[in-house]
Amino acid sequence: MSFISRRLAQATGFLSGGQQSPDQLPWNPDSTKFPSRKDLPKIPGAPEGAAWVWGKDDYIGRLNLLTPKRVKAASAEIKSGEIVPLDLPLNVPETPAFEREKFVHRIKPLLENIAYDDLYELNTQSGTQWDGFRHFAHVPTQTFYNGTKGSDITGPNANLKCSIHHWADHGIAARGILLDYWGYAKANGITYDPYLGHAISYEELRKCGHAQGIDIRPESQGGHIKVGDILLIRSGWVERYHQLSPEERTAAALRPMHLEDSSKPGVEWAGVKQEEAMIDWLHDCYFAGVAGDAPAFERWPTQESYHLHEYILSLWGMPLGEMWNLERLAAKCRELGRWTFFLTSAPANVPAGVSCHANATAIF
């Protein structure tokens, strides 16, 4: 589609009341109502359920929803100016899970007693992170977001498709919303260990939202979730991490992955449940991104034949955050009696990068 045709299609959608027609590609990010998951268009050459709707060369996915109009509206969340950082220290966890490398920090003297530099060795997914679109493919087709393949990421034909630097070029600023499921569970006698595979269902998140005074349905369905919001879910993993001894943390992190057979005992984490209700909700709210405080966001290992990572990253192009520090945020939300805030994140500007630390901040 030519540039002129694309702009005409977007303008037509906007002038027809702001409701996005599923087959009117590419979609206009300034539309006010978007199709539900069941109404997604069929994209030629794409896996079933793909929402590759923002253009042939799009590599920012749902970040398209962060238009100037929405960012300006989100800035109204800033009332007191209180700042809450959302990143864990780079050396937390000391032993990362999933066989990832430990963070190593060295100081390089340039001129003793006068000037120094830092030297870092790190896996960008060893701690507070964004999973980029190069991180996890749609497994049956081995396809990443918007048709990107493994040969685009490594090898002689490697290029910049779905590189994390595209996010950095766009920027991330939005209204954030916290569902403190860990706080809700403790208040309602629901006991579980975040270091084991507890699955948080959509119904439980609905009840959690209700307890916080939030209707977690999309605004288009009468709820409180706005297009372009960034969802944060607290499962209790960070609190539990600080309760464990260093030896217990290391033992838990070093549990085997058993990617080929999830029925074997191995690494487990609490997270959102793999279920149709959860998939529909995560899609239909049109979040610009989602993040949690646990190492996998979804219940790990998956109890289904699919991973939510496939839907979130490769099919929808929605940034996925893990191991965010939501402890101070939950306390501040509870203190203020409000669960929304202005959220910013500065992805790393690394051409060809797979993922990055979140560098995220909430402002009240």
Residues of the chain with pLDDT > 70, as a percent, come to 93
Instruction: Find out whether 288 and 36 touch, Cβ atoms under 8 Å.
Output: no
The tens digit of pLDDT for each residue in 310-327 reads 999 999 999 999 999 999
The tens digit of pLDDT for each residue in 33-92 reads 999 999 999 999 999 999 999 999 999 999 999 999 999 999 999 999 999 999 999 999
Q: What domains, with CATH codes, occur in the chain?
A: 83-90+125-363 (3.50.30)
Instruction: Find out whether 249 and 95 touch, Cβ atoms under 8 Å.
Output: yes
The tens digit of pLDDT for each residue in 227-274 reads 999 999 999 999 999 999 999 999 999 999 866 666 667 899 999 999
How far apart CA 353 and CA 269 sit, in angstroms, is 26
**Residue environment code for 234-251, b if the CB has 16+ CB neighbours within 10 A, otherwise e:** bbbbbbbbeeeeeeebee
Q: What is the DSSP letter of 38?
A: G
pLDDT confidence band for 356 (50 / 70 / 90)? very high
DSSP letter for each residue of 133-163: TTS--BTTTTB-GGG--HHHHSSTT---TT-
CA angle 205, 60, 20 (to 5 degrees): 70
pLDDT at residue number 14? 46
Instruction: Report the chain's mean pLDDT, rounded to a whole number.
Output: 94
How far apart CA 237 and CA 197 sit, in angstroms, is 11
Instruction: Give mean pLDDT, residues 101-106.
Output: 97
